[in-house]
Amino acid sequence: MDLLAQILINGVLLGGLYAVMALGLALVWGVLNIVNLAHGAFIMLGAYVSWHLYTYLHIDPFLGLPITAVVMFAVGYAMQRGLLNLIVRAPMFNTLLITFGIEVVLTYLAQLAFSADFRTINPSYAGDSFQFGPVVLPVARLLAFGIAIILTVGMWLFLLHTKLGRAIRATAQNLVAARLYGVEPRHLYAMTFGIGIALAGAAGGLYGTVSQINPYIGASLTAKSFAISIIGGLENPLGVIVGGLFLGIIESLAALYIGPTFADVASFGVLVLVLIVRPSGLLGKTA
């Protein structure tokens, strides 16, 4: 029973991090209708930015997150403005291919620049943990979880209540109408992509504190982000929390009861089931 409680807690803590990973992907997908196959690569880059800040400038990985986010925002804005805006009206398939191409390029550049070695961001408190009844709560994971929830809820409030957030939602609903109301789409698309990449960067910074990073982590993180976005649905950022927690718990349970190699089977099996039964997500409207 204690073991089960611990596993569930681990799953929840992992799930919070998963939620932030998927948040940016879901935003870009929902608004720009681009499924960004390079999303995981941007998470990887964010993790490296955080790692450099920590290793060379000794900035705490959690305090350094805003810097990582700003750097990644700039990268994302430039990429959308300079490249992706050229193809947003192309068929869906071409956007998949171009983001895959970007993924390959980013992974190679990262490998050239940072080498293929595993890196970890290990602040002094990395090994600390709370004993809470029968379960252990590692400090770093707990902090990452807390920031993840704050970011996700913050994103939700931002989309609901700010001018830019409203413009983003309006564009997602109807580009032509949004244009008539004074939205400048090239800038807005770049802002949205920038925010999505900033979130990916922040997720990368958090990921670096709880796991090892290398240039190749991107692809599997993209796949997980997909699964979460689909389970949670694209309409509402809060859905991503549900999707993230769901995936985190399923993976932890599968690893315990069926075997660690089945963690991915469980998560992707759930993804396929959700797609078949409820294509607009567990929380989404029925298709």
Partner 1 sequence: MSALRVPLILIALAVLAAVPWFGSDVLVQFGINALLLAVLAQGWNIIGGYTGYASFGNSVFYGLGSYGVAIAMVQWELPFAVGLVFGVLLSVIFAVLLGIPVLRLRGHYFAIATLALAQVMTAIVSNVKLAGQNIGLVLPPLNNDLLFYESALALLVAVTLTIWWLSRSRFGFGLIAIRENEEGAAVMGVNTTLYKVMAFALSGVFSALAGGIHAYWVTFIDPESAFDISLNVKMIIMAVFGGPGTILGPIVGALSLSAISEFLSSEITSIAGLFFGIVVVAAVVLMPRGLADMLRRFRKTGWRYFAENIRANRL
Of residues 227 through 246, those in contact with partner 1 by CB under 8 A are: 227, 230
- Rule CB under 8 A: choose which of 7, 8, 59, 97 binds partner 1: 97
Does residue 113 interact with partner 1 by CB under 8 A?
Answer: no
Of residues 116 through 175, those in contact with partner 1 by CB under 8 A are: none
The Cα 248–Cα 242 span in angstroms is 10
- Look up residue 149 and give its two tokens: 């929830």
Candidate ranges 49-57, 79-87, 137-145, 193-201; the one touching partner 1 (CB under 8 A): 79-87
- Rule CB under 8 A: choose which of 22, 24, 27, 29 binds partner 1: 29
State the CB neighbour count (10 A cutoff) for residue 128: 12
Candidate ranges 91-99, 132-140, 160-168, 202-210; the one touching partner 1 (CB under 8 A): 91-99
127 to each of 88, 141, 209, 220, how far by Cα in Å? 45, 10, 11, 26
State the residue for tokens 């929390």.
241
Does residue 93 interact with partner 1 by CB under 8 A?
Answer: yes
Shortest gap between Cβ of 129 and partner 1 (angstroms)? Answer: 30
Does residue 102 interact with partner 1 by CB under 8 A?
Answer: yes
110-124: string of b/e by CB count within 10 Å (b at 16+)?
beeebeeeebebebe
Which residues have CB under 8 Å from 250's CB, separation 6+?
Answer: 11, 266, 267, 270
Cβ(196)–Cβ(30) below 8 Å: no
CA nearest neighbour of 156 among 287, 17, 26: 26
Q: Which is nearer to partner 1, 104 or 136 (CB)?
A: 104
Candidate ranges 51-59, 68-76, 104-112, 191-199; the one touching partner 1 (CB under 8 A): 104-112
Candidate ranges 2-10, 45-53, 145-153, 220-228; the one touching partner 1 (CB under 8 A): 220-228
Structure letter (DSSP) for residue 35: -
Candidate ranges 6-14, 88-96, 162-170, 195-203; the one touching partner 1 (CB under 8 A): 88-96
Candidate ranges 8-16, 102-110, 119-127, 136-144; the one touching partner 1 (CB under 8 A): 102-110
Does residue 94 interact with partner 1 by CB under 8 A?
Answer: yes
176 to each of 34, 182, 189, how far by Cα in Å? 18, 10, 13
Shortest gap between Cβ of 190 and partner 1 (angstroms)? Answer: 10
Cβ(37)–Cβ(104) below 8 Å: no
Does residue 91 interact with partner 1 by CB under 8 A?
Answer: yes
Where does the chain have alpha helices with state H? 2-32, 39-57, 65-82, 92-114, 139-161, 163-173, 175-180, 185-210, 218-232, 237-257, 263-277
- Rule CB under 8 A: choose which of 100, 125, 158, 216 binds partner 1: 100
Does residue 261 interact with partner 1 by CB under 8 A?
Answer: yes
Q: Which residues bind partner 1 (CB under 8 A)?
A: 29, 35, 83, 85-94, 96-98, 100-105, 107-109, 112, 185-186, 189, 219, 223, 226-227, 230, 259, 261-262, 264-265, 268-269, 271-272, 275-276, 279
